[in-house]
Amino acid sequence: MKVTPLDLRQAKLRVTMRGYDRNEVDALLNEVADDYEQALRESDRLHQEMLRLEAVVTEHREHERNLRNTLLTAQRLADEIREHAETDSRRLLEDAESRAEMIFQQTQGRLEEVQREIDGLKLKRRDVETTLQSTIATLRNALEFVREQEQKEREDKILLHRPRHATVEPPAQVAPQAQAATASGASAVMRALDAAAEEQK
């Protein structure tokens, strides 16, 4: 049975012969009751303090759990961000390599095309040079032919003005031959010029 401070104060003890002094016993019981009551109050205070501290501990544990969850969430988010960044960087790198390869292929193709154009221009240049050389040679030959014809014509004219001899043909017969030779030379020059023009085309 639990004894309260009030029970100690109201306790009635039997009086016997040669027993303890009643006043001392009552004083002791009152003192014990006071100490007991103070101890109960202190116990109650400590109990309330314990409850408060337990609430604080529970709150701290809740905060700790929330903080741990936040840290875990932040870690997962950081991992996801890192994975996305790595994926994006790999994709960008692959795209850059693909574009670089495409540009290289286009540049290589263009280089080959330019080289073909250069080769074609070289061939055209050689053809033009050959044509010009041929035209120059043709014109030179034609010029030499015309000069020869003019020389022959001058010689024929000189022959026409010399005194007549038995071995010399009459002027009436020489002149037509000289005219024919000059006409033939002019025709040959025209033919050579036409041939040169055709070659240039």
Q: Give the per-residue pLDDT at 31.
A: 83
Distances (CA, A) of 62 to 66, 79, 115: 6, 25, 77
Rounded to whole angstroms, the Cα distance separating 133 from 191 reads 17
The pTM score is 0.37
Closest CA to 95 of 106, 105, 103: 103
> Which tens digits make up the pLDDT trace of 132-164?
899 899 988 988 998 898 888 888 777 776 655
Q: Are 34 and 5 in contact (CB under 8 A)?
A: yes
Residue 186 vs residue 54, higher pLDDT: 54
What is the number of domains present in the chain? 1
Which residues, at least 6 apart from 199, have a Cβ–Cβ distance to it below 8 Å?
131, 134, 135, 138
Q: Give the per-residue pLDDT at 191.
A: 64
Residue 103 sits in which domain range? 5-200
Q: Which amino acid is at 77?
A: L
